[in-house]
Structure 1
Amino acid sequence: MTFEAYEAVVEDSGHEARGRERRALSLGIDQLERLQGGRFSVEDLVQSLLYVRRLWTIFIEDLAHPENGLPEQLRADIISIGVWVVKESDRLREEKSNDVMQLIEINRLIRDAL
């Protein structure tokens, strides 16, 4: 395999990974938007918030890995956002907050930046 071919595979893999991340975030946003509508069961609430929490836990673990290719400061910034998302998801689940919109907006911003 030539170096140019390898670069194309690596770039395609990165593009595909971002696409998967966008789809995963979109699914979480869709679930959160249903909660914002106000008509949901406790099970819907828990499932939606756990999905978002798990997704961001995966992102945080990946960003914390030393072989992650993003610049260190960007990784740290996104990890900080992820920690906030996890905490806010917990606050919503524990009914210490009822503002789903902030969670939706931050997930949209990250998704759209990918």
Structure 2
Amino acid sequence: MYQFSYAEVAQDTAADARDRERQAFDHSLALLERAEKNGPRSRDAIEAVYITRSLWAILVEDLGSADNGLPDELRGELISIGLWIMSEAELIRAGKSENFRGIIEVTRMIRDGLN
């Protein structure tokens, strides 16, 4: 029978959470890249904007929580990035921007920074 210490379980849980975050970013990135290819008025763009905004809304809410374990400065920076991405996505939805590339590049950097 296996016995795990609390630290091992907590570490696995954190690793699992990072893996889920990475998967969510990968999904968002795939949708954004397809939307960039098919244009801002495509069905792909609608889906990419919706998923990307939803993902960042969840992340910003979590980052704003006092229970979030990241340092305050990093949390603030990530919240600012998230708000920018949501704003850019809204501009795309409204037909005022086609900046998929900017969102893709920033999202990729955030995803690649997950450990």
TM-score (norm: length of structure 1): 0.92
Partner Cα distance (2:39, 2:91) in 1: 19
User: How far has the Cα of 1:81 moved from its partner?
Assistant: 0.3
User: How far has the Cα of 1:38 moved from its partner?
Assistant: 2.9
SS at match of 2:70: coil
Partner Cα distance (2:62, 2:40) in 1: 32
SS at match of 2:51: helix
| 8 Å Cα contact 2:39-2:45 kept in structure 1 | no
Partner of 2:107: 107
Q: Which structure would you say has the larger RCO, counting Cα contacts within 8 Å and 6 or more residues apart?
A: 1
Higher mean alpha-carbon deviation, 37-46 vs 89-98, is at 37-46
Cα RMSD (Å): 1.5
Q: Percent identity?
A: 38
> CA 1:79/1:39 → structure 2, altered by over 3 Å: closer, same or farther?
closer
SS at match of 1:65: coil
Unaligned runs of 5+ in 1: none
| 8 Å Cα contact 1:49-1:90 kept in structure 2 | yes
User: How far has the Cα of 1:45 moved from its partner?
Assistant: 1.5
Partner of 1:11: 11
> CA 1:41/1:87 → structure 2, altered by over 3 Å: closer, same or farther?
closer
User: How far has the Cα of 1:9 moved from its partner?
Assistant: 0.8
| 8 Å Cα contact 2:60-2:79 kept in structure 1 | yes
1:19-98 to 2 correspondences below 5 Å? 19-38=19-38, 42-98=42-98
User: How far has the Cα of 1:41 moved from its partner?
Assistant: 5.8
Aligned residues, how many?
Answer: 111
| 8 Å Cα contact 2:28-2:51 kept in structure 1 | yes
Higher share of residues assigned helix: 1
Unaligned runs of 5+ in 2: none
| 8 Å Cα contact 1:63-1:75 kept in structure 2 | yes
> CA 1:74/1:100 → structure 2, altered by over 3 Å: closer, same or farther?
same
TM-score (norm: length of structure 2): 0.91
